[in-house]
Amino acid sequence: MEPKITSYAGMLDQSDFKQWYKYVDFRIAYQYTSEEVSFLMSKPPFYFSDYEVISSASRLTADDLGVLSGIFSGSMPKQLELNEDDFGLFEKRIVRVRRVEEPKQICFAITIPWTIKKGQKSIKFHEQKRRINIAEMAEIRLRIQQTLDRLFKLGYFRCGRTALDIYRTAEERCRFSPILRPLYVKEGLYRLINAGSLTLKMKNDYLRFQEPHLDHPVFQESGLLFT
């Protein structure tokens, strides 16, 4: 099977590049997909992917950075020291990425216009593809669905919940299972949406999962709609 090769590029200054490098490195270390990070950020599926491919229309807000800190809490970024840029620290320069997808891994080769201190000559990421045990995956999906059903019966979704809040709650109730993935929680939530038990609403630029009857004017006027 021939590897799938894609390339992309964008304009970043040194500060933007270090931030981009940090969060792509975190994503790979956690074995999350770009879509899973977008879900945990309570954003549309393409949100983090657009940022990762250095789309000119995509830029993280201060609130986004706060959410990402919560997603990757406790992680220490790799130290990346760049030499000074003759054009200025905040001068945007082109950054190029070559992505090679193979059956077992994805390799990223990043070309930057700056030189790196401490003798490092190139920047590369190696993302290992997850090996899926079908039986374990089915078991964790069942446990997640049972957890979400219990939370619904307890009134957990009476106030709008962010994806990260729900994921952390599911993680705790599943005893921090190493095979728990954000994708499985997302699938469980969308089953409840398809069943009419939950709705997905955008509030303050973030998606929230909540019980559908809370949109009714009677609940809003009575003060029963929590934020």
Residue 2 pLDDT > 50, yes or no?
yes
Give the pLDDT confidence score for residue 110 in this predicted structure: 94
What confidence tens digit (pLDDT) does each residue in 38-76 have?
999 999 999 999 999 998 778 899 999 999 999 998 888
* 40, 71 Cβ separation under 8 angstroms: yes
CA neighbor of 201 nearest in space, from 180, 181, 220? 220
What confidence tens digit (pLDDT) does each residue in 186-227 have?
999 999 999 999 999 999 899 999 998 655 443 443 333 333
Average pLDDT over residues 134-140: 89
Instruction: Please give the single-letter amino acid code of residue 14.
Output: Q
Residue 163 pLDDT > 60, yes or no?
yes
pTM as predicted: 0.87
CA distance 114 to 8: 18
